[in-house]
Amino acid sequence: MRKPETDEEFRARFIRELDELSAEPRCEICDNWPDDCICPACPRCGSRGDSDCYQEGGLGICGELYGKLTLEQQIAQAERHVSELYRDWEEACLALDWMKSTRVDKKG
């Protein structure tokens, strides 16, 4: 069963969705803005930061760079992963605070 969304959850989701919208033009691989993209040009198709180059090849997918992320790209991806975890953690804290705030003090 899914509980109805609280105001705090709605707010957190709204902020996250705004974030995702504004993050759309970033490179899919290194998460940098196109001007700051650190991805090397693909030796096969010449494109930079194309996720198709980093997936297993076949079916029209390039695959040339599959399993060959540079250290800088790995760091960029790890940074993105950490910031996602941090955001989840913040949302969990908001939800916990909200639950605590709804506690009814039955002692009095």
Tokens of 56: 């297993």
In the three-class reduction of DSSP (H, G, I as helix; E, B as strand; rest coil), residue 61 is classed as strand
Closer residue to Zn ion (CB): 12 or 27:
27
Query: What are the distances in angstroms from CA 104 to CA 100, 101, 108?
Result: 9, 8, 10
Closer residue to Zn ion (CB): 45 or 94:
45
Residues in touch with Zn ion (CB under 5 A): 27, 29-30, 37, 39, 42, 44-45, 49, 53, 62, 64
Closer residue to Zn ion (CB): 64 or 91:
64
Shortest distance (Å) from residue 85 CB to Zn ion: 21
